[in-house]
Amino acid sequence: MTLMREVEDRIERKLYRQGKIAGAVYTGRGQEAIPVGSALLAEPGDVLFPSHRDMAIFFIRGVSARRVLAQYMGRMGGLTRGRDGNMHMGDMSVNVVSIISALAATVPVAAGAALALKYLNRNGVAFSYFGDGATSRGDWHEGVNLASVQKLPVVFICNNNCYAYSTPLNLQMACANVADRGPAYNMPAAIVDGNNVLAVYEATQRAVAHCRAGLGPYLLECKTFRMTGHSAHDAAHYVPQELFEEWRKLDPIARLENRMLAEGWAGQAELDRARAAVVQEVDDAVQWAEQSPYPDAATLLEDVYEKP
């Protein structure tokens, strides 16, 4: 969670302002417990479909901060080798499927991946991530319906951060919770404190067990808040200030650290050392990324189309 926070802070608050980021910047500040608490439960053969606020998934699957930073800077060292300048990236060598920009477009793809895993008897699970707004798109309903009818092993993980760009929840869906959509598909759905990484972990354990037992998909609605604008170019004037203040008290990293100290799982010195190591790792990664070259224009069509 700290690595994700540090990499995203560096991108949004420094490199973007210095004009070094090639594309737009969307961060998951305040939402780190969701990708971390869930993706830690993915087995190597499982397939993950991150959304735009789930950077930790890449780190959990072993993608380095160097490569993620090079990606955002449009360099050859990035996952798309300079073809894209933000989070539209994946790494099929570790079963992380690239984000499709159109919201919810990856949901039917996740259902398809789960169909393949089931057909091949792999006992694998697809992890499908999206925001609250994405659940109002047609693709979301088609993908969820297919998964449910076919009893496919998909954990659908919603980060409900109360906004879809500037649109608050009540203006984009008529039910109170995303989880309320589950029964329409005869799919179990749980509401989780998305700012508590241990709660997300436990809920995901239950969801994954359900999927691996062949019982079909499972929906997790992780309640959280977007502690930033929609993107680095959005100051979020439309969000009432007191909401930020309320949710700041629920910061998932601070909450876990406080719990660790209270339970005696770690001392302050250990936490400080861990944080310093993260800062150092990100310093190194930024330097590495800045030294990575931009792609040669003559190669830009490589890997765009499959060769015969």
Ligand X SMILES: Cc1ncc(C[n+]2csc(CCOP(=O)(O)OP(=O)(O)O)c2C)c(N)n1
Q: Which of residues 249-308 bind ligand X (CB under 6 A)?
A: none
Site for ligand X in 5-64 (CB under 6 A): 53
Per CB under 6 A, the list member of 72, 156, 163, 225 interacting with ligand X is 163
Instruction: Rule CB under 6 A: say whether 181 interacts with ligand X.
Output: no
Q: How far is the CB of 132 from Mg ion (least distance, A)?
A: 4
131 is a site residue for Mg ion (CB under 5 A): yes
Binding mask 99-118 for ligand X (x = CB under 6 A): --xxx---------------
Which one among 161, 195, 196, 204 touches ligand X, defined by CB under 6 A? 161
Q: Which listed residue (63, 164, 179, 285) binds Mg ion by CB under 5 A?
A: 164
Exposure string (b/e) for 61-96, b if CB count within 10 Å is 16 or more?
bebebbbbbbbbbbbebbbbbbbbbbbbbbbeebbb
Residue 186 interacts with, from Mg ion, ligand X, none (CB under 5-8 Å by kind): none
Closest contact distance (angstroms) between CB of 24 and ligand X is 9
Smaller CB separation from ligand X, 124 or 133:
133
List contacts with ligand X (CB under 6 A). Answer: 53, 101-103, 130-134, 159, 161, 163-165, 226
